[in-house]
Structure 1
Amino acid sequence: MTDIRIRTEGRAGRITLTREKALNALSYDMCMAVDEALNSWATDPAVQLVLIDAEGEKAFCAGGDIVEMHSTGTAGDYDYGRRFWRDEYAMNARLATYPKPVVAFMQGFTMGGGVGLGCHASTRIVGASSQIAMPECGIGLVPDVGGSHILARLSALHPGAGAWIGTTGHRLKGMHALFGFADHFVDEHHWPTLKAAMCESGTPGIPAHLGADDLAAQADFYIEMKTIAAHFNRAPSKIAASLAADPSELAQQALKALSRADPLAAACHIEILRRLGPKSTIREALTLEYRFTHRCMEQGNFLEGIRAAVIDKDRSPKWPHAALADVPAAQVEAMLAPLGADDLTFPEDPT
């Protein structure tokens, strides 16, 4: 496959996304190739570490390949999208519970499906170019691929932060990603040498002198995050009004982003975070996410979101609800209700 390069190098299994012109967006076949490699390497004694990276400077992975989902969904075929999500989520779960160290180097855009591929690794590395976000609510989807698991844990430490980042698609730039989505900030000119050392040693160790430790930058963002998250740590019907009453630039930016999001998806994301809590597992998160994505084309607004963002590119989606406060609780409950025989299941690791 030309979109992904999978091989072993030294003591490492290597996965490199090579779809640079498409910002390394994940196709279904790419997801399945990753899962197959992970499954194979799990019991291979020659592979002591898995290293995931991508070609190009602009993006590690800017998301999933959603155009085909729109094509099949508008034709009334919802099974393609459901199969994509079901199998992708199984791969995300395998990554998050992998028995060997997994290292991800995430330059540039890491969004949506890219978060599912990189941010469940046991060692997550970012640099100055990194921008990590979960912008799904803007296209009628909830933050998925296990993103709600990360955001739920972040919310446990900083109440409201997960709802803020998830409903607005706020981009965590560089060192800011260390709040939940990454473990180490390393100058990107060190990455080639670091990758070579990891492949040779089979260990994910990072020399202390390589990790930048700009406490001032982290402290400034921490204060901002606490301030803005407080607006989202309240009933969904009161979030917009709280933001509107705050004249700060950050609050007004959040209000603008929230107003662009699909109110139904935003309400469902907030409810998913409420149900998960700090001790939830990746599989519990993916199960809730799948209940939404299974229904989002037929009963939600995902197809309209893709039309506005990717197909017609008019950036003017016609959401059924005017605002987050207008979404009935019963509709949120219906979108997240168990699917019975269609609920998400996970294959045994490894086979």
Structure 2
Amino acid sequence: MKPSVKPNNPNFSSGPCTKRPGYDISSLNLDSLGRSHRSALGKTRLQKAIDETIRLLDLPEGYLVGIVPGSDTGAMEMAMWSLLGQRPVDVFSWESFGAGWDADIAKQLKLQDARSFVANYGELPDFSQANPEHDIIFTWNGTTSGVKVKDADWISDDRSGLTICDATSAVFAMDIDWPKIDVATFSWQKVLGGEGAHGMLILSPRAVERLESYTPSWPLPKIFRLTNKGKLIDGIFKGATINTPSLLCVEDYLDALNWIDNIGGLPATITKSEENLAVLAEFVEQNDWIDFLASKAEICSNTSVCFQLKATAEQISAMIKLLSAEEVAFDIGAYKDAPSGLRIWCGATVESSDLQALLPWLSWAYEQVS
């Protein structure tokens, strides 16, 4: 039977992700619009975005946060081009974005002393191979594979290298072991349901020390430069951005941070996302035609949840079109480089009631194409 109840919000995209519950653009503070981002007001709003990020994530003392160009990709490229080259580097990848960082290191930076540890979609690489004397690149959560790291216990407390982590679909949804991370990047458009184009760069004191003691052999574009005459450009971490940000996007981000604060902070967003995953896990348990792409429950993402189906790629494509036509689920196809399947975002901005309403429609669509 065709279901009669539809999700109130059919937006299940894995980025940009759905807005927070109750979002109303008219409630944003618009005082900064039309003003220079270098004005006192503009810097105050940018500084607030930084300060609230530090507070809500409970970052360790001495960690810095900056707003940089180019979303998470820009933040990661900035970190790699600015920090890598002093030491050998170990790259761990298990989905397309991690593979992209690996390719950049090999083909663009052309680092000779780099090792790649790769796993197939649904699996994790062997982290025991990490050398604490090397720099380490990895993603906390594989957005395109639905596989996350279980923890950071494999990272040495006595490391001499830096850990650089793409955490874009993990920050504000997963318990990140910050003392193990020297550089982390994320974007507003994932767990917070914010707007695109702006990246967040988190630096530990060890990362700052590297920046001030090491100069890469290659030229750096202006938007990648974090130092001037061997010293950190600290204004980047005090609201003075490298290039012009959208103050409307900043206000949208501040609205999302305020929502997180109001619902109970980081513990609440993590719990909400994990409870959403539990809704999907129960459905998988009850249906033999669908399964997680992740090979083990403990590494299954609780944000970008990826599924494999007992169906052909053509049948899955037909399912996706049916669900979109019925306006019950938008943008739930697997990432273009990933195995054919479904990908449903279940971060904190998604309501569990919407996931529960969606599931009968998945069954219906599967029956239609089978």
TM (normalized to structure 1)?
0.34
Instruction: Please say which structure displays the higher CA radius of gyration.
Output: 2
Relative to its length, the structure with more strand (as a share) is 2
| Structure having the larger proportion of residues in helix | 1
Larger relative contact order (C-alpha < 8 A, sep ≥ 6)? 2
